[in-house]
Chains A and B, each alone.
Chain A
């Protein structure tokens, strides 16, 4: 999963597919079956096809000219990454156990399609509809941005 730092764009996209599949495996380990299926469908099915299609359109297969050459920037990024990682691990380590004790049946009943759908269509009905409007607006905006006429930018 740590192989995003490939120089080839297509290789890193395929590593991202592998990463999404393993994240879906994590969801299955956490008894979130619905989210695992949604993860595979949305990410590995839709978003990665979109990424690979854009890579194919833009013809970016070999990018020796695009890979970074500035060593100072990478050094700074590594320092910042170490700081962020240590902060996150510190927060995760300072966590005190306030979790409720769950029986196996309760833990199994959390991530099922029935529980998520029941909560999604009763309590969270308005955010659900807003999400639908957001997706429609995103599709229309993407078509407007990527169309061939030059009325987008200057």
Chain B
């Protein structure tokens, strides 16, 4: 069986790639995809701990995280569509609806 540290390392690398994508990308949909990447990195870490500790609660937490991620992607893409319909852009540096 593969050691726990390898799973944690893969999770950390994936999380860092997601952070880099969120910080550098300017397309809103790609930013959403990078957020999904970070969520799945955390899920890998949770499942690894849960499996190595023989506890099922971590997997149930991952289940709830999947549900919340589905809801978040749904609402987020709807917001992207609404913004794109009002002012024709998907560039998040040009969206300043909430700027005071």
Contact = CB atoms under 8 A, between A and B. Distances in A.
Given A20-B40, A35-B62, A77-B24, A4 B67 contact: no
A60 B65 CA distance: 29
Given A4-B34, A58-B90, A32 B47 contact: yes
Interface size bracket, B side = 35 or more
A26 B74 contact: no
B17 to A, nearest CB: 6
A84 B16 contact: yes
Interface of A: 1-2, 4-5, 9, 12-13, 16, 19-20, 23, 26-27, 29-32, 34-35, 38-39, 42-43, 46-47, 50-51, 54-55, 57-58, 60, 63, 66-68, 73-74, 76-78, 80-81, 84-85, 88-89, 92-93, 95, 99-100, 102, 106-107, 110-111, 115-116, 119-120, 124, 127, 131, 134-135, 137-139, 141-143, 145-146, 150, 152-154
A1 B14 contact: yes
A73 B64 CA distance: 34
Interface string B18-58: 11110111110110111011001001100110111111110
Given A85-B16, A134-B67, A142-B78, A26 B60 contact: no
Give chain B's interface secondary structure class: helix
A88 B66 contact: no
A50 to B, nearest CB: 6
A32 B86 CA distance: 44
Given A77-B24, A146-B78, A35 B59 contact: yes
Given A84-B16, A95-B8, A120 B60 contact: yes
Given A4-B34, A26-B47, A80 B23 contact: yes
A95 B80 CA distance: 40
B33 A51 contact: yes
Contact of B12 (A4, A20, A47, A92): A92
B81 A34 contact: no
